[in-house]
Amino acid sequence: MKNRLLFLGPPGAGKGTQASLLCKTKGLLHLSTGDLLRAEVSAGTPLGKEAAAIMNSGELVSDEIVLSIVEKRLSDRSPGWLLDGFPRTVFQAQALEPLLQKLKQPIEVVVLIDLKDEVLIQRLLARGRADDNEEVIRHRLRVYREKTEPLVQHYDEKGLIKTVMGDGEIDDVASRIEKVIS
Ligand code: ADP
């Protein structure tokens, strides 16, 4: 089984849920930039204060902030990791490469969890997080298509992409993921 993974997909596709499940069962480090940023926001740190307004508008936090958070946490001590919500731009992906090279830990598989926009919007509306009102959701989807979706081609060129559909029950999606990472 592969143990250096990246989850890619639009907001609402279920990346966070699936990533938590998988990391628990496989003992991988779950690196979710969304969770880490929200932790900074609730702790009221200067970084959190800077990030909060941007997150609530559906825009992306600066590459600089996100990279500083990720860099602190990647180390060669971890038996494996799952990157969730990062990289989110081609710039971030390019910045990540030398870090992983230094650690001699290349990404082994990129799982693209995909879902139709209408389903994504319904799910996010039901979730009701601070950044989950309809206008912000639509904006986040546009930001995803524009800035993050180019990563699909980026990683496909490296032969790393495996696509799974994110519809249906949590367990069904989990077993689809198991199949492509084993
Ligand atoms: P979702 O999966 O629903 O899009 P996340 O929890 O991954 O939500 O992220 C929530 C917000 O945090 C994003 O809309 C963005 O503002 C910020 N964020 C998370 N990860 C990154 C990143 N890698 N680069 C820039 N901003 C990020």
pTM for this prediction: 0.93
Q: What is the pLDDT of residue 121?
A: 95
Q: What is the pLDDT of residue 182?
A: 92
Residue 36: give its domain's CATH number.
Answer: 3.40.50.300
pLDDT < 50 positions in the chain? none
Q: How many domains does the chain have?
A: 1
Q: What is the pLDDT of residue 130?
A: 87
Q: What is the pLDDT of residue 39?
A: 96
**Candidate from 18, 65, 71, 88 with most ligand 1 atoms within 8 A of CB, to mutate:** 88
Q: What is the pLDDT of residue 78?
A: 75
**Candidate from 35, 55, 113 with most ligand 1 atoms within 8 A of CB, to mutate:** 55
Q: Which domain holds residue 100?
A: 4-181
- Residues with Cβ within 6 A of ligand 1? 11, 15-16, 33-34, 37, 54-55, 58-61, 66, 85-86, 88, 92, 131, 140
Q: What six digits make up the tokens of 145?
A: 């298509």
Which atom of ligand 1 lies closest to the CA of 32? 7
Q: What is the pLDDT of residue 107?
A: 97
